């Protein structure tokens, strides 16, 4: 079984950072999902696809995977760099483009 350890990104629809501080251990799918021909539902017989384990630190997640003998990969988080912008920058005289509404 192969597992993936990652920290989820911030929700694009919210300004907060909720549910993005913990590290998740998720098992990679061992088989492809199948589509039910009658109803069109997507299903799988892989029960490990339903498991998401939360850890507070990366070290805890890695030690769990090592204790259980799991092959794992770590995806480093991509933290965005906030741009420091002030309201007064809208009215600067040295703007590259004219300010319009």
Residue 96 lies in a domain: no
Read off the DSSP letter of residue 70: -
pTM: 0.71
DSSP 6-23: E-PPPPTT-SS-TT-SSE
The distance of Cα 97 from the centroid of its chain, to the nearest Å, equals 36
Residue 84 lies in a domain: no
The pLDDT value given to residue 100: 67
Residue 66 lies in a domain: yes
The pLDDT value given to residue 45: 87
Q: Which domain holds residue 9?
A: 2-32+39-76
The pLDDT value given to residue 99: 65
Digit-coded pLDDT (tens) for 25-61: 999 988 889 999 999 999 888 888 899 999 999 999 9
Digit-coded pLDDT (tens) for 52-94: 999 999 999 999 999 999 999 999 987 777 778 888 877 777 8
């Amino acid at each position: 079984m192969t597992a993936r350890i990652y920290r989820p990104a911030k929700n694009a629809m919210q300004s907060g950072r909720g549910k993005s501080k913990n590290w998740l251990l998720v098992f990679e799918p061992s088989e492809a999902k199948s589509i039910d021909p009658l109803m069109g539902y997507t299903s799988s017989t892989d029960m490990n696809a339903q498991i998401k384990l939360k850890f507070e630190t990366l070290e805890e997640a890695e030690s769990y995977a090592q204790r259980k003998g799991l092959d794992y990969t770590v995806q480093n988080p991509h933290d965005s760099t906030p741009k420091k912008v002030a309201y007064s920058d809208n009215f600067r005289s040295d703007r590259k483009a004219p300010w319009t509404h």
